[in-house]
Amino acid sequence: GNSVTQMEGPVTLSEEAFLTINCTYTATGYPSLFWYVQYPGEGLQLLLKATKADDKGSNKGFEATYRKETTSFHLEKGSVQVSDSAVYFCALSLTSGGSYIPTFGRGTSLIVHP
Amino acid sequence: EAGVTQSPTHLIKTRGQQVTLRCSPISGHTSVYWYQQALGLGLQFLLWYDEGEERNRGNFPPRFSGRQFPNYSSELNVNALELEDSALYLCASSRFWYEQYFGPGTRLTVT
């Protein structure tokens, strides 16, 4: 079956540090890949996406590259801010015969200290 | 533009009872998705409705069911509640399958 594996958290960083959150996947077929962010008390928000191999998704200083050869979609940001503290979810989705099949990772909590 | 709304915000039920959760999608979105976010388990896909029909369901027992109304709002029903049904239930809507917008969720506690 399909699965998404994220690094366990929490990830604790100081402001302006470099961030990497690892995400690897297994899927039958060619999935689209996503990163969602969940701020405290809120629903998930789409952060970025990539729909084919070698695509780079980017938004708000975050970026991730779809690496088919390593089945990975690691999230990076060059300089984190306190306001980036949230839970980050890696996800994949496939369509099969018009049916949407989503799979989410367990989420990685990021805590950024001033 | 108003986001996805869910009601109620919190709910406490006892084992064996039934519960109905509600979701209103963003205007113009025809698809609604339901997820269960149990502690430590991430998001588990429950159901996908599009244009009033169930298009796909995740690996959940039949006591989890729902429907989508002509105005694209949706209900999730859970019968014969069990303790392990305690979770945050998230609804999302989309116009395109690859880009979903999530509501804040309904926190269900089963005692």
Q: Three-state SS for B95?
A: coil
Query: pLDDT: is B68 or A97 the higher one?
Result: B68
Q: How far apart are CA B9 and CA A101, in angstroms?
A: 27
Which residues in B lie closer than 8 A to residue A91 (C-beta atoms)? Answer: 43
Which residues in B lie closer than 8 A to residue A100 (C-beta atoms)? Answer: 33, 48, 55-56, 97
Phi, then psi, of A82 in degrees rounded to 5: -55, -35
Give A102→chain B minimum CA distance, Å.
Answer: 7
Structure confidence by residue, pLDDT tens digits, A11-53: 999 999 999 999 999 998 889 999 999 998 788 889 999 999 9
Tell me the average pLDDT of chain B: 93
Residue of chain B minimizing CA distance to A94? B98
Are B98 and A98 within 8 A, CB to CB? no
Structure confidence by residue, pLDDT tens digits, B19-40: 999 999 999 999 999 999 988 7
Enclosing H/E stretch for B31: strand B31-38
Q: How far apart are CA A108 and CA B45, in angstroms?
A: 18
The proportion of chain A whose per-residue pLDDT surpasses 90, expressed as a percent, equals 71
Position A99 pLDDT exceeds 70: no
Are A106 and B90 within 8 A, CB to CB? no
Give B48→chain A minimum CA distance, Å.
Answer: 8
- Give the count of beta carbons closer than 10 Å to the beta carbon of residue A31: 26
Residue of chain B minimizing CA distance to A108? B42
Give A50→chain B minimum CA distance, Å.
Answer: 10
Position A55 pLDDT exceeds 80: yes
Task: Let me know how long chain A is.
Answer: 114
Phi, then psi, of B29 in degrees rounded to 5: -90, 130
pLDDT band at A8 (very low <50, low <70, confident <90, very high): confident
Q: Structure tokens of B7?
A: 């009601």
Q: How far apart are CA A52 and CA A83, in angstroms?
A: 30
Exposed/middle/buried for A40, CB within 10 Å: 0-12, 13-18, 19+?
Answer: exposed
Burial track B29-61 (b if 16+ CB lie within 10 A, e otherwise): bebbbbbbbeeeebbbbbbbbbeeeebbbbebe
Residue of chain B minimizing CA distance to A102? B45
Q: What is the pLDDT of residue B86?
A: 96
Position B53 pLDDT exceeds 90: yes
Alpha-helix residue ranges (DSSP H) falling in chain B: none
Task: Let me know how long chain B is.
Answer: 111
Position B97 pLDDT exceeds 90: no
Distance set, CA B4 to CA A1, A107, B83, B85 (Å) = 30, 21, 27, 23
Q: What is the pLDDT of residue B41?
A: 75
Residue of chain B minimizing CA distance to A51? B98
Q: Three-state SS for A84?
A: helix
